[in-house]
Amino acid sequence: MSGLSISRRGLLAGVSALGASAALSACGAKTGEDSSAGSAAKADTSGSTVKVGLLNSLSGTMAISEVTVHNALLLAVEEINAAGGVLGKKLKPVSQDGASDWPTFAEKAEGLIKDDKVVATFGCWTSASRKAVKPVFERYKSLLFYPVQYEGLEQSPYIFYTGATTNQQIVPALDYLKKQGLTRLYLVGSDYVFPRTANKIIKAYAEANGMKVVGEDYAPLGSTEFSTIVNKVKDSGADAVFNTLNGDSNVAFFKEYKSSGLTAKKMPVLSVSIAEEEVKSIGTQYLEGQLTAWNYYQTTPGSANSAFVKAYQAKYGKDRPTSDPMEAAYISVHLWKAMVEKAGSFDVAKVKAASDGITFDAPEGEVTVDGTTQHVHKTARIGKVGADGLIEEVWNSGKPIEPDPYLKGYSWASGLS
Amino acid sequence: MTVILNQSFTGISIGAVLLLIALGLTLTFGQMGVINMAHGEFIMAGAYTTYVLQQSISAAGLSLLVALPLAFLVAGTLGALLEWLLIRRLYTRPLDTLLVTWGFSLMLQQLARDIFGAPNVQTRAPDLLTGHISVGGVTFANSRLFILGLALLCVLGLTLVLRLTPLGRRIRAVVQNRDLAEVSGIASERVDRTTFFIGSGLAGVAGVALTLVGPIGPTMGTNYIVDAFLVVVVGGIGQLKGSVITAFVLGVLQAVLEYSTTISVAKVAVLVAIVAFLQWRPQGLYTLRTRSLA
């Protein structure tokens, strides 16, 4: 230590250089343009098996949610293979880890299409990751099936959206809150595209429907410091919190929420990204009585659902819950299979042309693909977290709602784009 | 008024977290001058220790109490191992330690991922710590009070060790003048390892406390490492009181700015304030005058 000469500035320069090099390598991944850009990558359908890509975050802050989606995708692939495959060919899943990092998603998507020559890819959770891979799928004219509720206002010709768009989740949730007389809302979300767009829609809805947004706060994805936000929520006089936090920031948020003395009775939190799996890992003690908005719960009645729950638990363990994004992921593979079989080909253009009107007896009830928007008709459901960690439905829309990603059917949404 | 009081308590509790994560670093970086990028992973080791203990001891309160000393041992042992394997060969090359310890931190992250899986895990907090105390409209979350108490206890303990024990005297002697200390018969290598053990162990204790706030994951340490260095750098190298004051000032500043603006703006403003402060006082809040430190 005698020869030690280290200045604070030297240290900070060193630390920031490390950070900068990480950022640079990340950018490099994103700009990895290919000379064959613009031409469709040829999916390999020559052998007795075809490869399908599974692109989920198996590590990082989103892994809490995305691993379960990955499991559900594998289950669907297994079921299809057991029933003879698609067009006589068995499916070979190729898993890639997006690592909760958006440029990584783009890089892995490109690898799946170019190197593995997959016939279709299933996955992504956050809208940030979907936005990162969207140009890749469009450039190579390859198909992505996206299984998570999202903020709408998007319609890529190469993406099928099997989760809810806003008029199948957020708008019904707002209708529900309004009916309950909870009209003063505090918006808390992670700082990226989904929460910000969702909150724009919520604010437009609130203005047109006599509700009031009394506060709005965003935390960086992965953030664990929520004491100030919870204090603000507490002082705001809100009737309810509309929560669009993603990943395990929810753990920190609900721990703080409970320990500051707020409860579901005093000020309910309605979450749009917390399903059964997250309830389990956040801890039921923090979430009991809070509200969620989805299209499917493990408790949804019906024989298709009991078969799905049974198959999932047989494969992954008796105590594993099933959730909406898992269900949407599960049906996405089955819907793709039906499209391919109707088209009689793995060809992307033919599959797209065959998609309209495809139905599937899904765990959430029968779903129908809308070929124009490439979204799915779904029933909206509001649920309440019970003491056992499962979510009990307290309201549903009665019938599947037609997808309207640009909210064209809602006059208050005309200013949004 | 209650808003101000509530936010002040929030600021102090953010400060307590900062202090806990930075305390070990004031020893290893502040006293020894080692830029240890793996400090965050020692925090992670402490957090996972709590998680593992809770698998075998189901009483959440008891497992938390047992976790404190055990996490200190686990993280401290990892630290001593790092010192013995790598750092002792690099005392004269501080910028190389930066890279080596960063590599070590990546290895620890991967190890955690292999052992515990990539998804983050959570612990159950004891019921006592999920509640809160209300005094005239001001809410004190029990978990935050616990962290504050733990931080202050650690500072007190560390101060006593450094001031009163023979070990503390040896550590201070080596920091102030290594050659003279060696001449006086102090085995400086052994002192280095012990100092590193204690510093890393304190990171483990911080990890236990952080399980009360957020999730436990292989990369959780990276969330805290920059903040920890900021506290030590602003506080001034080699001084405990500098870090204590800095942690609480930064915590309160963060809380006040967050309340009146947004999280992102508050983070930027705090960093700008730190840069401005270091322009004015590049040596930090307090400095230790020694012959060995530049």
Q: What is the pLDDT of residues B224-252, one digit of tens each?
A: 898 899 999 999 877 788 999 999 999 99
Alpha helices (H) in A209-302, listed in sequence order: 227-235, 249-259, 276-282, 284-287
Count CB neighbours of B276 within 10 A: 10
**Contact of B146 with B212, CB cutoff 8 Å:** yes
pLDDT at residue A337 above 70?
yes
Name the one residue in this structure whose structure tokens are 């402060």. B277
| DSSP-derived 3-state class of residue A93 | strand
- Determine the pLDDT at residue A98: 93
- The dihedral of CA B124, B125, B127, B133: what is its sign? negative
Structural tokens at position B285? 């809040």
CB–CB contact A229 B134 (8 Å): no
Would you place residue B94 in the very low, low, confident or very high pLDDT band (cuts 50, 70, 90)? confident
pLDDT at B290: 57
Which of A11, A217, A218 lies nearest to residue B35, judging by beta carbons?
Answer: A11
Cross-chain CB nearest to A261 (options B119, B139, B262): B139
d(CA A94, CA A109): 11
Q: What is the mean pLDDT of chain A?
A: 88
* Residue, of B11 and A18, whose pLDDT is higher: B11
Q: Convert the pLDDT of each residue in A81-98 to its tens digit.
A: 999 999 999 999 999 999
**Which of A372, A153, A116 shows the shortest CA–CA distance to A130?**
A153
Phi then psi dihedrals of residue B103, to 5 deg: -60, -45
* pLDDT above 70 for A158: yes
- Shortest distance between the Cα of A280 and any Cα of chain B, in A, equals 10
Per residue in A401-410, pLDDT tens?
999 999 999 9
In a mutational test of the B interface, the residue from A58, A253, A255, A278 whose CB has the highest number of chain B CBs within 10 Å is A255
Question: What integer pLDDT is reported at residue A2 of this predicted model?
Answer: 39
Indicate the angle between helix axes A324-343 and A63-82, nearest 10 degrees: 40
pLDDT tens digit sequence for B158-212: 999 999 999 999 988 888 888 888 899 999 889 999 999 999 999 999 999 999 9
The first and second tokens of residue A262, run together, are: 């707020």
pLDDT at position A141, please? Answer: 94
Q: Which of A4, A61, A225 has its CB closest to that of B94?
A: A4
- Chain A contact present for B197, CB below 8 A: no
Q: How far is A393 from chain B (nearest CA, A)?
A: 26
Of residues A60 and A237, more confidently modeled: A237
CB proximity B268 to A under 8 Å: no
Instruction: Show residues of chain B in contact with A251, CB under 8 Å.
Output: 120, 122, 214-215
- The answer, yes or no, to whether residue B291 has pLDDT greater than 70, is no
Report field, pTM of the whole predicted structure over 0.90: no
pLDDT band at residue A265 using 50, 70 and 90 as cut-offs: very high
Mean pLDDT of the region A134-145 = 96
Length of chain A: 417
Q: Amino acid identity of A360?
A: F
Closest residue in A to B121 (Cα–Cα): A281
Which structure tokens are listed for A288?
Answer: 């009991």
CB B49 within 8 A of CB B65: no
Share of chain A above pLDDT 90, in %: 71
| Nearest-angstrom CA–CA distance, A347 and A353 | 10
CB-defined contacts A:B, below 8 A: 166
Cα separations in angstroms, A153 against A141, A164, A295, A414, B277: 21, 12, 19, 12, 45
- Enter the tokens of residue B240: 């405990």
In angstroms, rounded to a whole number, what is the distance separating the alpha carbons of residues A408 and A168? 13
Strand partners, A383: A292, A393
Within A174-251, strands assigned E span: 184-190, 212-219, 240-244
Q: Which has more pLDDT, B120 or B65?
A: B65
What CATH fold (topology level) applies to the domain B2-280?
ABC transporter involved in vitamin B12 uptake, BtuC (1.10.3470)
Average per-residue pLDDT in chain B? 89
Closest CA to A229 of A203, A260, A198: A260
Sheet holding A212-219, edge to edge: A212-219, A184-190, A240-244, A269-271, A291-294, A381-385, A391-396
CB contact at 8 A, A361 and A346: no
Is residue A160 pLDDT above 90, yes or no?
A: yes
Which of A104, A125, A217, A227 best tests the B interface by mutation, with the highest count of B CBs <10 A? A227
Cross-chain residue pair B119–A217, CB shorter than 8 Å: no
Say what percent of chain A tops pLDDT 70. Answer: 90
Q: Of B96, B106, B120, B290, which to mutate for an interface test with A (greatest number of A Cβ within 10 Å)?
A: B120
What local confidence, expressed as pLDDT, does residue A49 receive? 93
- What is the least distance, in Å, from the CA of B69 to any CA of chain A? 24
Place of tokens 């309201």: A395
Question: A40 falls in which pLDDT band (50, 70, 90)?
Answer: low
- Segment among A132-136, A256-260, B90-94 with least mean pLDDT: B90-94
Tokens of B214: 């957020």
What distance in Å separates residue B284's CA from the closest CA in chain A? 9
Say if the Cβ atoms of B122 and A251 lie within 8 Å: yes
Q: Is B114 on the interface with A (CB under 8 A)?
A: no
ipTM over 0.90: no
Q: Which residues of A touch B192 (CB under 8 A)?
A: 1
Could you give phi then psi for residue B24, rounded to 5 degrees? -60, -35
Which of A32-36, A116-120, B56-60, B233-237: highest mean pLDDT?
A116-120
Give dist(CA B175, CA B191) in Å, integer: 10
What is the set of domains in chain A, with CATH numbers? 49-164+303-377 (3.40.50.2300), 167-299+381-413 (3.40.50.2300)
**A15:B226 CB<8 A:** yes
| Tokens found for residue A318 | 């008796």
The domain locations on chain B are: 2-280
Assess B137–A contact: CB distance below 8 Å, yes or no. no
Q: Which residue out of B2, B10, B257, B292 would a mutagenesis test of the A interface target, given it has the greatest number of A Cβ atoms within 10 Å?
A: B10
Assess whether pLDDT exceeds 70 at residue A193: yes
Cα–Cα distance, B268 to B251 (Å, whole number): 14
Q: Which residue has the higher pLDDT, A42 or B172?
A: B172
**Interacting residues of A45 by C-beta distance below 8 A, sequence separation 6+:** A89, A119, A346
- B68: contact with A, CB 8 A cutoff: no
Structure confidence at residue A41 as a pLDDT band (50, 70, 90) = low
Nearest CB partner across the interface for B292, out of A4, A9, A281: A4
Chain-chain contact of B132 with A9 (C-beta, under 8 angstroms): no
pLDDT for res A22: 43
Please determine, for residue B7, whether its predicted confidence score (pLDDT) is greater than 60.
Answer: yes
